[in-house]
Structure 1
Amino acid sequence: MQTVLFHHTPMAYRNSSKQKPPQHALAVQETSAERIIKAAHQHTATVWQGDFHNAKQVLAAIKKRVRRKMKAESDPATAFHKHRMAQAQQSQIINMLLVEIAGDYTVNAQRAPDVQAALNDVFGASNGESFLLPLNQLLGFIGAHEWHKKGVDIAELGDKIHVPFGVFSPIRGEYLALVAQTRLPENCQSAQDIGTGSGVLAAILAKRGVGKIIATDNNPRAIACAQQNVQRLGLSQHIQLRECDLFADECVDLIVCNPPWLPAQATSAIETALYDPKHAMLKAVLQRAHAHLQPHGELWLIMSDLAEHLGLRQKDELAHILAQNHWHIAHIAQTQASHPKAHDPNDPLAFARSQERTFLYCLQSQK
């Protein structure tokens, strides 16, 4: 737990990103976006104790002031890294508007909503200690809790997947369709879903008739989430959840893995589902999967080519990594990206997102 000097007294501070805590925090009833930004540049956070709805308006004003349109770059990698740097700098300022959360998970602000269920979803049961929390993150937690309750419709399941904050949500449907439609290996009776997250891919495999699926993840929140989804979908007899790093000990007919697609540094725990420096997880899976496949089994690798359009990976680099690790490409299925950002011309990375494709590589071991 980090601490901040609040009225010259250390107070607990929580932040779901990897940002450093502010050096000081001062309480206010009302103030302006300009003053909060000025204080932030002096490493001082502002703790809002006035009207909660006014705080949301001021937060919107802060975002409007710090989020400026980036200059176009001819080099894709430079554009990506500048975008990520700008995101980090903007987030640092935005997260300097704080609220005080009491030990019973109530907000010390007028007309504040009931956030107890949302905070319990994120942090678990309260330890009774008050703490400071960025307002922007609190609003994100509230939104995530509502999505957790509502669930995400999955056409391939004809049902919903429910995902709490801290677990990657399967909101991009194109890769789910690839797993649901690609021909299974002959006589496929068993599978492992590596980095299962919400459990959605394991559920799709079970719906397709794979009798035994072991779903692994090293994130206990993901395992708990997947377990709840598996039970809700009535698939417990087919899917076993294991909290471990990558592989369970068994050998199976099919291994499915959807690793992080971008070889870059994550700035928060949830971003580890998207960013992985130097494709470390991908390479570990490719190195170790041989020992966990039955003869004539297959490794299904789900990858986007966004990294190539961003200049983060050379066009032939993935093929080289596969060959280097003794994998033969038996079949490739692909689809155009269909998520909202892929069609948003105002997105800073629209030049790359508009060209993105998602691939399912059906790989056979050459060892």
Structure 2
Amino acid sequence: MLVATRQYVQWQENGSLHRAQWLSQSNHGPPARIVIIDDTTTADTAYRLANAGTSMLWRGDFHNAKQLIQALQRRIDRAELRKAEKTAKKAAQAVTDSMRGDSKPVSASQHLPNLFHKNRLAQTQRSRILSRLLLHFDANYQLNLGRAPEVREACTAAFGKMDEACVLSFRDLQGALGAAQWRKKGVPVEALGVSIHPHYGVFAPTRQEYVQLLLDAPLPKPCDIAYDIGTGTGLLSIVLAQRGVKEVIATDLNPRALDCADDNFERLQIEQVQLQQIDLYPKQAPLANLIVCNPPWLPAKPSSPLEYAVYDANSAMLRGFFMGAKSHLADKGEVWLILSDLAEHLQLRSREELLGWIEEAGLKVKYRLDTEPTHGKSQDKSDPLFEARRAEVTSLWCLY
């Protein structure tokens, strides 16, 4: 989400000093160096400038800017491929040396945590480079470039109303336009026969293998009241409503998520869900027969607001969820935790740690339902983390 305090960026153009409000959905600060570029600027020049930390304000044709972004991506891909090849050779050599007795025993899996962090760093660097191509808007997101599309509605939905000139990255604009399309057409959830409409800044439920687990798990008896912790788009609440739970209390800290969930409930005419903007557990609520949660799966620090749905620094949310569950459960109540074991395959968290936190919270495992991933990355051999993704299992842990 955008910070409340307005930030401004300045640049020299045609002998004059210009100033506009600075917007960044990745929380990048205003750029210190800006040069003006246009259709005559080559991709090699732009790539060199971006790598040197110089931001570029685009004054050419809109579609040529799209082509420039694609050219920058290709150059980043080539650079990352060269680094990946070197890393793979070093890892293979380390394993070979350990087998020969030239060094301490090393397995290929021992390199996974390091590979994960290097991959995250590469993603961050990629984001920073691509975010250095900037666009200048007049008030109300008026974009005065050749062949520029109408972007006001998408930008207002993503960034809020704008009563003055502003500057944001071409990449952030692409994100806003893409989110507007997702929101308009929705994400089909085949297991439910409905579509979920994600808003900007709310993680889209493109991975859905866990939905069938929620449909297969037997509801506790009775099951009149359920909590959905960290509701996001509201998908878990919708599953519970369709299964006949009389009252669902859904919580989330992100106001965008609450607006998104409310929109989806209204679209599907679901009236038994109450929303609360709060961290984890609701206040002044009756004890729950069922508590469901699909927390971030990887214990790492988020680098942008959207990543809070994927990364949970030090497993803070997961551990907080465990510790608060028992005191919010009614007699014979259950906790359904939706969690991937990808963190275990990446050696970022062990199964022993997970079971230890469950025991520490006074909970016990009643049963577990498992499913294998079907998303694209689990089949993509070019993904640096393919071996871990291929072994991944997503589970519904039933705790009591």
Distance 1:11 1:124 in 2: 16
Residue 36 of structure 2 is aligned to residue 27 of structure 1: yes
2:122 aligns with 86
More helix by share: 2
Contact 1:260 1:275 in 2 (8 A): yes
Distance 1:329 1:277 in 2: 24
Contact 2:189 2:196 in 1 (8 A): yes
Distance 1:83 1:337 in 2: 21
Cα deviation 1:212-259 (Å, max 9, x = unaligned): 0011111111111101111111111x1111111111132110000111
**Which of residues 190, 198, 202 is equivalent to 2:225?**
190
Cα distance, 1:38 vs structure 2: 2.2
TM-score (norm 1): 0.95
Distance 1:44 1:153 in 2: 41
Distance 1:218 1:78 in 2: 31
Distance 1:175 1:113 in 2: 37
Which region of structure 1 is more displaced relative to structure 2, 299-308 or 316-325? 316-325
Cα distance, 1:4 vs structure 2: 2.5
Residue 71 of structure 2 is aligned to residue 61 of structure 1: yes
Residue 263 of structure 2 is aligned to residue 201 of structure 1: no
- Report the AA paired with residue 245 of structure 1: D
Distance 1:54 1:314 in 2: 48
Cα distance, 1:28 vs structure 2: 2.4
Cα distance, 1:325 vs structure 2: 1.5
Cα distance, 1:165 vs structure 2: 1.2
**Which of residues 149, 152, 164 is equivalent to 2:199?**
164
Q: Name the SS of the counterpart of 1:361 in structure 2.
A: strand
**Which of residues 13, 17, 27 is equivalent to 1:18?**
27
Residue 40 of structure 2 is aligned to residue 40 of structure 1: no
Q: Structure 2: where are the runs of 5+ without partners?
A: 1-5, 92-107
Distance 2:76 2:21 in 1: 27
Residue 208 of structure 2 is aligned to residue 173 of structure 1: yes
1:350 aligns with 386
Distance 1:348 1:114 in 2: 37
Distance 1:291 1:324 in 2: 13
- 1:1-367 correspondence runs (5 A): 1-7=6-12, 8-30=17-39, 31-67=41-77, 68-69=80-81, 70=84, 71-72=87-88, 73=91, 74=108, 75-126=111-162, 128-236=163-271, 238-249=272-283, 250=285, 251-364=287-400
TM-score (norm 2): 0.88
Distance 1:257 1:105 in 2: 38
Distance 2:160 2:71 in 1: 32
- Report the AA paired with residue 41 of structure 1: N
Q: Name the SS of the counterpart of 1:327 in structure 2.
A: coil
RMSD: 1.3
State percent identity of aligned pairs: 41
Task: Report the count of equivalent residues.
Answer: 362
Q: Structure 1: where are the runs of 5+ without partners?
A: none
Contact 1:105 1:119 in 2 (8 A): yes
Distance 1:331 1:115 in 2: 49
Which region of structure 1 is more displaced relative to structure 2, 224-233 or 6-15? 6-15
- Report the AA paired with residue 232 of structure 1: R
Q: Name the SS of the counterpart of 2:391 in structure 1.
A: coil
